[in-house]
Structure 1
Amino acid sequence: MGASGWSYVVAYQPDLDAALDALRDKVFAEGDYWWARGEIPNSAKDYDDRPTTMEELFNDEAVQESGTHSILDVYRVLNDGERPDYGTVEPVSAAEALRLTGTERLTREHLGIIKDLAERSWFGRCAVLHDVQGRPEEIYFWGYSGD
């Protein structure tokens, strides 16, 4: 099947890890992820008997092998200085933003420019997006996962 790209925009909050956790909870509750049933990949929302907990979901052998092709496949936002690892989300640094866009305060208009920062499967990126006054307004999460 191959890796799938995914992206989400959520309201800004200063704790990026808490924003990720809330987003993962929402995606799981809505069934907005890939779930293997038989040989055809399907959205979990198509099934009333889908897993009721993330633990149950990730105990599924097919999910362990292929992932969910969603934000559920990453679990933690990195702190400054930490190296990206499987299943982590790396915030766009001020230096990356400045180098790519000419500003440290990213907006929705910059999404097309920064999208290529997610280079590897099973890793995510995130960026704080600002309003026209330069205030943090949203958080953009994106990446690739699944096999």
Structure 2
Amino acid sequence: MATGNLQYRKMIESDVSLIKAFTTFDSLWKSIEMDALTAKEYINKYVLGEWRVWQQNNKDVAITYHLDHAPSNNKPWLGTVIINPNDRRQGFGTQVVKQLKKELREKGHKAIFAGVPVEADIWIQFMSDCYFEQFKIEKDDQNQMFLIMVSPLQ
């Protein structure tokens, strides 16, 4: 599937190395998301949704994970957006989120949710740039605080 010249494919096992490559210098992401997990263990934690690798001109530029129907509320959730560090600040993140939102809208969904750790200001700003708004704050099972954000799919 393509959005302009941005295309995606489902992630395959050999793509696990992309997570490590895309987050090598991202200590915030690794400390919050990976903790002591390997990239493969991290991906295997999230199996209910769809992992995608996004490419432009056959170059891997982004990885996403989303669910059409999360167990928590049976609504779509955006779980992960990772951009190749060489391609950051070029609009790929907002493009892939826009494409995911369009697909979900076409499936009849009205909104998409995301949970962002409250200490990850830069992630909250990114989600705001993608037209997500604060919905509520929740604690997870490890007592970590998350800002739950929502975006209408109009």
TM-score (normalizing by structure 1): 0.24
TM-score (normalizing by structure 2): 0.23
Higher strand fraction: Structure 1 or Structure 2?
2
Q: Which has the larger radius of gyration?
A: 1
